[in-house]
Amino acid sequence: MYTLGIDSSTQSIKALVYDSDAGRVVTTVSVNFGKELPEYNCPDGFLPNDNVLVRQADPRLWVAGLEKVLEKLQAAFDTSKIAAIGGDGQQHGSVYLSEPYCGGEGAPAPKFSRLVSPIWMDSSTGAEVAALNAKFPDMAARTGSPAIERFTGPQIMKFAKDDPAAWADTARVYLVSSFLCSLLAGEDAPIDIGDGAGMNLLNLKTMSWDSEICAAVAPGLAEKLPRVALPGERTTLGLAPYFEKFGFKSGIPVVPFTGDNPASLVGTGADKPGVAVVSLGTSDVFFAAMDRFQVDPEGYGHVFGNPSGGCMSLACVKNGSLAREKVRALVGCDYAFFDEGAFAELPGATLRAFPYFEEEITPKHPATGIEAAFDWEKASAAEKVVSVIRGQVLNLFERTRWIGAFDTIRVTGGASRSKGIRETIAEVFGAKVETLDVPDSAALGGAILAARGKCRM
């Protein structure tokens, strides 16, 4: 059976076809938002904003991206053979509609009640976070995380306060994941527990929206959220007739989408406790399936639902690949230099620096640029590259001790192609590092969840 996984991440959208009988990926196509859809003015996946705390995207970008990636897929694969669709979206980002999505025969035409979507990189909700943590000292015990700036609850709270008229006009709040799923199904899709846990609204004990927190966040919020989908439930969604245009059979099952990290947990085969994953994408993320519920005592990490059942832990560093890209440009080298130059020249170097180009979330730190424990200006190109990579990996290590120690770490994401980066992870974590044959672990996770959903029918 062939299934499709769609991964809408920060900078691109991918479509991956998986042959579930052979257990292999057949084809992958992708659309880069900045390069291929420049009309939406999101060069790195978000609208440029001088305020470094504000990171928002134009949600129409995701609608256009979906159409474009399906067009590319149709050129690469006989889409009539696809038996089910699953997928994921960047976590926390929210989409606001004036009515629950209802597609029908025509092209997707969601009625937005808010023209911008805050994404996971946004840190503008400090006041709301403080208010929610003061009101709910047990927020982490309830939802898996203390109130966090990028999480959807504080974002909704700020929007409802800043623009009460637009909030009153909002009938549905989706995550990027459930928005895309709704577009495909042509109807109001649920939010799964993997992505729903990134909102500060889902009570992980009851696996349902926490009515007390919802009431404190914004008037009428509980009625404006879609229902929660539990792992393993039978899917009732089917592909809308419009998508026959791309060669699909309409009506094939569409399983509820999840967050990119929960999907990646499944795609890397780490959805059972034992192995941890380091995903080096726009954000650098460490995650693992959990055998018992425990929250980060420092308040940086999170507990999300595991799409395969139970929970997963996660820590997310904002200055990931965009920061590496800036360092590469500052140093004036290409990526080959990272391995062939920097790490070859300085094996065992212990220099440490951290690139705070964006306001950092793990640990909390303003956007001050490179912070080095040595004279950065006088450092050689190799020292700059090695110290930043070591700094990023050491930070990830130090902030994930609460999750536990792991003998094996699976690395995924673009930067995992670098031998020097993989070796730094192995050395710092004292673990065996495994790479995956499939770089697109989130899209693969979506396709695997689609195959499981189809088998349950």
Contact residues for ligand XUL (CB under 6 A)?
9-10, 90-92, 120, 150, 198, 259-261, 281-283, 285, 314, 316
Q: How far is the CB of 287 from ligand XUL (least distance, A)?
A: 9
Instruction: Return the number of the residue (302 or 422) whose C-beta is nearest ligand XUL.
Output: 302
Q: Which residues of 72-93 are buried (b: 16+ CB within 10 A; e: fewer)?
A: bbbeebebeebbbbbbbbbbbb
Residue 342 DSSP code: I
Nearest to 275 by CA among 291, 258, 259: 291
Instruction: Return the number of the residue (88 or 187) whose C-beta is nearest ligand XUL.
Output: 88
Instruction: Return the number of the residue (387 or 441) whose C-beta is nearest ligand XUL.
Output: 441
Burial tier of 256 (Cβ tally within 10 Å: 0-12, 13-18, 19+): buried
Phi and psi, residue 75, nearest 5°: -75, -20
CA Rg, the chain, in Å? Answer: 21
Q: Give the CA-trace dihedral at 391, 194, 226, 32, to 10 degrees.
A: 50
Instruction: Return the number of the residue (341 or 355) whose C-beta is nearest ligand XUL.
Output: 355
Q: How far is the CB of 83 from ligand XUL (least distance, A)?
A: 27
In angstroms, the CA 55 to CA 72 distance is 28
Instruction: Return the number of the residue (170 or 264) whose C-beta is nearest ligand XUL.
Output: 264
Q: How far is the CB of 238 from ligand XUL (least distance, A)?
A: 27
Tell me the Ramachandran region of residue 131: left when phi exceeds 0, alpha when psi lies from -120 to 50, beta otherwise: alpha
Instruction: Return the number of the residue (87 or 186) whose C-beta is nearest ligand XUL.
Output: 87
Q: How far is the CB of 42 from ligand XUL (least distance, A)?
A: 14
Q: How far is the CB of 284 from ligand XUL (least distance, A)?
A: 8
Q: How far is the CB of 289 from ligand XUL (least distance, A)?
A: 16
Identify whether the C-beta of residue 127 lies closer than 8 Å to the C-beta of residue 68: no
Q: How far is the CB of 452 from ligand XUL (least distance, A)?
A: 22
Amino acid identity at 413: G
Identify whether the C-beta of residue 85 lies closer than 8 Å to the C-beta of residue 254: yes
Instruction: Return the number of the residue (150 or 454) whose C-beta is nearest ligand XUL.
Output: 150
Identify whether the C-beta of residue 295 lies closer than 8 Å to the C-beta of residue 141: yes
Query: What does the block give as tokens for 291?
Result: 């055998």
Minimal CB distance to ligand XUL: which residue? 91
Give the count of alpha carbons within 13 A of 363, CB side only: 9
